[in-house]
Amino acid sequence: MKTVRPTIGIIGGGNMGTAILSGIHKAYPVIVCEQDKKKCRFLKRTFKLSGQSLRDVIEQAQIIILAVKPQNFDELLQEIESTTGKKKLFISIAAGITTSYIEKRLQRDVKVIRTMPNLPAQIGQGMTAVCGGKSASFSDIKRACQIFNHIGKTVVVKEEWMDAITAVSGSGPAYVFLFIECFTNAAVSLGLSEDLGKALVLQTFRGSWGLFEQQREEASELRARVTSQGGTTQAAVDVFMKYHLEGVFREALQAARNRARELVK
Ligand SMILES: NC(=O)c1ccc[n+]([C@@H]2O[C@H](COP(=O)([O-])OP(=O)(O)OC[C@H]3O[C@@H](n4cnc5c(N)ncnc54)[C@H](OP(=O)(O)O)[C@@H]3O)[C@@H](O)[C@H]2O)c1
92 lines ligand 1 (CB under 6 A): no
155, 32 Cβ separation under 8 angstroms: no
> How far is residue 190's CA from residue 32's CA, in Å, rounded to a whole number?
49
CA-to-CA separations, 235 to 68, 229, 238, 241, 247, in angstroms, rounded? 47, 9, 5, 10, 19
Q: 185: helix, coil or strand? A: helix
Domains and CATH numbers, the chain: 8-162 (3.40.50.720), 172-263 (1.10.3730.10)
Task: Look at ligand 1, atom 46, and give the residue with the nearest C-alpha.
Answer: 94
- Residue 111: closest CA among 130, 88, 79: 88
> Is the alpha carbon torsion for 110, 111, 114, 115 positive or negative?
negative
> The pTM is what?
0.91
Give pLDDT tens digits for 115-171: 999 999 999 999 999 999 999 999 999 999 999 999 999 999 999 999 999 999 999
Task: Look at ligand 1, atom 18, and give the residue with the nearest C-alpha.
Answer: 14
> How far is residue 27's CA from residue 22's CA, in Å, rounded to a whole number?
10
171, 152 Cβ separation under 8 angstroms: no
> How far is residue 249's CA from residue 98's CA, in Å, rounded to a whole number?
26
CA-to-CA separations, 118 to 105, 134, 240, in angstroms, rounded? 26, 24, 28
- Choosing from 68, 102, 176 the residue with most ligand 1 atoms within 8 A of its CB, the one to mutate for a pocket test is 68
Give pLDDT tens digits for 1-14: 667 789 999 999 99
128, 148 Cβ separation under 8 angstroms: yes
Ligand 1 center to 14 CA (angstroms): 5
210 lines ligand 1 (CB under 6 A): no
Please classify residue 263 by burial: count the beta carbons closer than 10 Å to its beta carbon, then call 0-12 exposed, 13-18 middle and 19+ buried.
middle
Ligand 1 center to 181 CA (angstroms): 26
C-alpha dihedral, 112 to 10 to 167 to 103, nearest 10°: -20
Determine the pLDDT at residue 48.
Answer: 85
- Choosing from 35, 37, 64, 80 the residue with most ligand 1 atoms within 8 A of its CB, the one to mutate for a pocket test is 35
Task: Look at ligand 1, atom 19, and give the residue with the nearest C-alpha.
Answer: 14
76 lines ligand 1 (CB under 6 A): yes
Q: Which residues of the chain have pLDDT under 50?
A: none
Ligand 1 center to 176 CA (angstroms): 22
Determine the pLDDT at residue 176.
Answer: 97
**Alpha-helical segments (H) within the chain:** 15-24, 37-47, 54-60, 73-83, 99-106, 138-148, 162-165, 172-189, 194-215, 219-225, 232-242, 245-263
Ligand 1 center to 179 CA (angstroms): 26
Ligand 1 center to 69 CA (angstroms): 4
Residue 124: DSSP 8-state: T
